[in-house]
Amino acid sequence: DTAVSQTPKYLVTQMGNDKSIKCEQNLGHDTMYWYKQDSKKFLKIMFSYNNKELIINETVPNRFSPKSPDKAHLNLHINSLELGDSAVYFCASSQDGHGVNEQFFGPGTRLTVL
Amino acid sequence: SQKIEQNSEALNIQEGKTATLTCNYTNYSPAYLQWYRQDPGRGPVFLLLIRENEKEKRKERLKVTFDTTLKQSLFHITASQPADSATYLCALSGGPNFGNEKLTFGTGTRLTIIP
């Protein structure tokens, strides 16, 4: 029974396209996150939602738009993809967003922009 | 700006020895420090959390220390095994009382246990 799942696992697309990544958690957590891990393996937070409400929005280009239809789902839509968007994107969840609880990560989505 | 550095990008340790990984931070007063393990092609997995008022935390062969004066955490794996080979990430957060609720990750150390 997968705790945090993401689809797709791999995404290869052309520059300028629009794509979405989906995330679901079945842990009953209130908070969900999107992270980007670049080629140097540095993991950086992009967004955080608590009970469908945006609570963290790092300096991410507005081509990236997260959407949380309910607290178990957090999707990431990316418009006008650029070469620099190539990375692994991880979804995560935690009981709350206070930084005191462990985070559970999904398997990642490797995005390659050609 | 806040900076979190982990001692070395890669560390090779002989099987059976203790592996010690370091996490140093600057311009930060974290209330909580977490350690995660990441295997190739997978998401990070939580290992341990230590609070600012705790000096040490243990879990099986793992031990974490947190020195807020030195602004440093040490992560030890005793009796290391080849299966412990992975990248280890430290992550800091200010906690709910500090208004800094996000988890900020270090650069990671790739640990290899040599049989």
Q: What is the pLDDT of residue A1?
A: 66
**Tokens at residue A107, please?**
């398997």
**High-pLDDT (> 90) share of chain A, %:** 75
Question: Per-residue confidence at B7, pLDDT binned at 50, 70, 90?
Answer: confident
Neighboring chain A residues of B34 at a CB cutoff of 8 Å: 102
Q: What is the pLDDT of residue A76?
A: 97
- pLDDT tens for residues B49-108? 999 899 899 999 999 999 999 999 999 999 999 999 999 999 998 765 555 578 899 989
Q: What is the pLDDT of residue B45?
A: 97
Sort residue A59 into left (φ over 0), alpha (ψ -120 to 50) or beta: beta
Query: Residue B95: which of A41, A48, A99 has the nearest Cβ?
Result: A99
Would an 8 Å CB–CB cutoff place B28 in contact with chain A?
Answer: no
Neighboring chain B residues of A97 at a CB cutoff of 8 Å: 101
pLDDT at B11 over 60: yes
Query: Residue A99: which of B38, B89, B101 has the nearest Cβ?
Result: B101
Q: Is B53 exposed, middle or buried (0-12, 13-18, 19+ CB in 10 A)?
A: exposed
Would an 8 Å CB–CB cutoff place B6 in contact with chain A?
Answer: no
